[in-house]
Structure 1
Amino acid sequence: MNGMKTAIGLMSGTSMDGIDVALLATDGEAMVERGAFLGVPYDPSFRDRLKLALEQAKEIRVRTERPGDLAATERELTLRHAEAVRLFLERNGLKAADIDVIGFHGQTVLHRPDEALTVQIGDGNLLANEIGIPVVYDMRAKDMEHGGQGAPLVPAYHAALAQGLATEDAPVCFVNIGGISNLTFIGRDGTILAYDSGPGNTLIDQWVEAHAGIPYDQGGMIASEGGIVAALAERYLSNPFFSAETRRSLDRNDFLPPKGSEAELADGARTLAYVAAAAILKSASHLPERPALYIICGGGRLNRVLMGDLAALAGKQNARVIAAEEAGLDGDAMEAEAWAYLAVRSLKNLPLTFPGTTGVAAPVTGGVLARP
């Protein structure tokens, strides 16, 4: 097809659980053909290094700074992405020459939109040289240079997907429940609005890791054994973030996990699952119209307790909640697919962000192209 490019998207999200690799053929506009997907988990020792990177990054004042051993972590992260690409190509019978471009997110280690500062570690030039494919990286910075929040970037892809949905429900709201949750509203007239909606999996993950020594609450099993601690839930949901007139993007440290004395293990997990669900509906109250359909992506859709709470809360507003798979999409692959899509848009100098998504003054493209 005219203008179609084959792209791979790479995402390492705020949950820091691994690298998502997705294949996409797209013109960077309405034409989208979704391909294969691969998740490559991080081992516990490297997850610990990324946690340390978050601490070291707090010292950054200029986004090129790499305090402590952050430069070494950045190099290893990049090489792990290169290996993930090689594995993906091998498993899918592809060669580097089959791929036009790679969209490389890197790992966010610092995001301070109020200071116009965002840092994603990941060396685009090193990655391009390692795998022999052009790489578009650092896609958030230009948005911030033009007055935007630098997030979220996935809404441009959500809008493309919405055009192909076989549903009469409108308006539609895509919700990605990763470490931080974000939503994309697509109005009846095609209006796109998007913003971070609150804590997603991060608080739950930190809670169960601290109290049970496991990285996450698989399927919401721990939460299913507990009850909601009302005072704890209210403390989170009364955060000024939810009532502020201006929507802003979040850093994973903007909401801190409960103190150990505030709940038992199961009650804490149950409460934080409810908080993650309620945060989405509270944030959706700032939209110009109530969504009729919520399509849930990201790891949070696998937590049945969280999804149950979300369905119950949305049901009170006569809205449906479905997982991405029920809409014919892949909730694990969507963010990585988006980065492939955005890389193609970057190559074509098309906007990645819009006033209604990041608060940027006018639609703006972004990204840096690295050639092997």
Structure 2
Amino acid sequence: MKTYKILGLMSGTSLDGLDLCYCYITKGTDQWTFEIIETKSVGYSEAMQGELKDSIYLKADELLQFHNTYGTWLGQQAKQFVLEKKLDIDFIASHGHTTHHQPENGLTFQMGSGQHLANESGHKVICDFRTNDVALGGQGAPLVPIGDELFFGNYDFCLNLGGISNISLEQKGKRIAYDIGLANMILNYITRKIDLAYDKGGELARSGSINQMMLDSLNGLKYYLLPHPKSIGYEWFVEEVAPIVDGTDDRIENLLHTSIHHICEKVAQQIRLNATAKSGSSLLVTGGGALNHFLIDVLQEKLGEHTKVVVPKKELIEFKEAVVFALMGALRMEQEINVLKSVTGAKRDSSSGVLFLPS
């Protein structure tokens, strides 16, 4: 038995803030386990949210400067959290914030300099988990499936509803996973039009109705026809999705209602395509979208009785990704595989992540 005390940091494409999760990751004789000890979410200021959202338009020198200052900010948040809670940590495992994701061009970039984070926090840091996989010809995403395999393998499907929806499952003895498509990214984009960070519980969406023209346009996006492995980023949303939303003249409630039906139909299609158990299957749902009650209701309705939608406790919903990046850090320290070629399409499995020491 070996236990690592890790602070996992996660910032997702929904741009709602930074998740900090202090957890114990234990390597047993035949399995890995986790225990969440302390958590905290730090919301982004309007200015920070805007900077992260618009970072894809920055010049190279401006981008690298922001990379450094954001890394320092991450270090400040980590340091404050450690002091507040009087935590004893072995290292920090940081996902950073994905600003550029173009695996077809051989590049992916996660904002948040590991060296600045380490220097500011005073702790060892493991970060940059995606670059190596992309260098090996992979998508560099999704990465969470290693956690699905080691922590949540008793579910038939693991669905994460962050800014993007992605799914993970076992197929012919191998873990596969891919980005299905839209999730909170489109919902939050719509609510920001009325200066609302998000639609709490999906109540605005529930009161709306379907705009068929918008639904047909979203359903017709070419990405959905691509085979996996595949992944998407914010650039795709800006180029392909935002024009559909902006070009639809309708009430906010209807835009949200339509988007949720689109999200759920695309998820349900993938579940039906991959469901093999005749007696029914289980779907674990985490990420911010799991807190959208209307979305969960629509998803269960579209799936029917064959697949049971399982929504865990709020703590796991919100911090699962941070826990998995903590696990990825532990696997890196053990020099064990933490990125699966069966998921990303890379030439080989890898133990990814770069180590930074404070100075």
TM over 0.5: yes
Please report how far the alpha carbon of residue 345 of structure 1 lies from its aligned counterpart in structure 2 after TM superposition. Answer: 0.7
Please report how far the alpha carbon of residue 320 of structure 1 lies from its aligned counterpart in structure 2 after TM superposition. Answer: 0.6
The yes-or-no answer on 1:180 pairing with 2:180 is no
Residues 129, 352 of structure 2: 8 Å contact kept: yes
1:82-101 aligned within 5 A: 82-94=75-87, 98-101=88-91
Q: Which runs of 5+ in 1 are unaligned?
A: 60-65, 166-170
**Residues 146/54 of structure 1: CA separation in 2 closer, same or farther (3 Å cut):** same
Matches of 1:275 and 1:138, distance apart in 2: 32
**Residues 50/279 of structure 1: CA separation in 2 closer, same or farther (3 Å cut):** same
Residues 142, 231 of structure 2: 8 Å contact kept: yes
The yes-or-no answer on 1:74 pairing with 2:67 is yes
Aligned equivalent of 2:268, options 281, 287, 296: 281
Equivalent in the alignment of 1:320: 308
Matches of 1:260 and 1:245, distance apart in 2: 28
Residues 32, 160 of structure 1: 8 Å contact kept: no
Please report how far the alpha carbon of residue 347 of structure 1 lies from its aligned counterpart in structure 2 after TM superposition. Answer: 1.3
Residues 101, 344 of structure 1: 8 Å contact kept: no
Please report how far the alpha carbon of residue 126 of structure 1 lies from its aligned counterpart in structure 2 after TM superposition. Answer: 1.2
1:64-213 aligned within 5 A: 66-67=60-61, 69-94=62-87, 98-163=88-153, 172-186=156-170, 191-210=174-193, 212-213=194-195
Q: Give the superposed CA RMSD.
A: 2.0
**Residues 139/271 of structure 1: CA separation in 2 closer, same or farther (3 Å cut):** same
Please report how far the alpha carbon of residue 260 of structure 1 lies from its aligned counterpart in structure 2 after TM superposition. Answer: 4.5
The yes-or-no answer on 1:254 pairing with 2:241 is no
Q: Which runs of 5+ in 2 are unaligned?
A: none
Residues 353, 360 of structure 1: 8 Å contact kept: no
Identity %: 26
3-state secondary structure, aligned to 1:80: helix
Task: Give the 4+ runs in structure 1 shifted more than 4 A.
Answer: none
Residues 177, 201 of structure 1: 8 Å contact kept: yes
**Residues 238/285 of structure 1: CA separation in 2 closer, same or farther (3 Å cut):** farther
Please report how far the alpha carbon of residue 300 of structure 1 lies from its aligned counterpart in structure 2 after TM superposition. Answer: 0.6
Residues 100, 235 of structure 2: 8 Å contact kept: no
> Which of 299-308 and 274-283 deviates more?
274-283
**Residues 178/156 of structure 1: CA separation in 2 closer, same or farther (3 Å cut):** same
Matches of 1:154 and 1:37, distance apart in 2: 19
Please report how far the alpha carbon of residue 190 of structure 1 lies from its aligned counterpart in structure 2 after TM superposition. Answer: 5.6
Matches of 1:340 and 1:19, distance apart in 2: 14
Aligned equivalent of 2:37, options 35, 38, 46: 35
**Residues 288/270 of structure 1: CA separation in 2 closer, same or farther (3 Å cut):** closer
> Which of 218-227 and 257-266 deviates more?
257-266
Matches of 1:246 and 1:194, distance apart in 2: 8
3-state secondary structure, aligned to 1:330: helix
Residues 229, 343 of structure 2: 8 Å contact kept: no
Residues 354, 363 of structure 1: 8 Å contact kept: yes
What amino acid sits opposite 1:108 in the alignment? T
The yes-or-no answer on 1:309 pairing with 2:293 is no
3-state secondary structure, aligned to 1:194: strand
Please report how far the alpha carbon of residue 90 of structure 1 lies from its aligned counterpart in structure 2 after TM superposition. Answer: 2.7
Equivalent in the alignment of 2:21: 22
What amino acid sits opposite 2:308 in the alignment? R
Would you tell me which structure has more helix in proportion to its own residues? 2
Residues 24, 341 of structure 1: 8 Å contact kept: no
Please report how far the alpha carbon of residue 27 of structure 1 lies from its aligned counterpart in structure 2 after TM superposition. Answer: 3.8
Please report how far the alpha carbon of residue 215 of structure 1 lies from its aligned counterpart in structure 2 after TM superposition. Answer: 2.1
Matches of 1:245 and 1:123, distance apart in 2: 33
> Which of 85-94 and 359-368 deviates more?
85-94
Please report how far the alpha carbon of residue 285 of structure 1 lies from its aligned counterpart in structure 2 after TM superposition. Answer: 4.5
Q: How many residues align?
A: 348
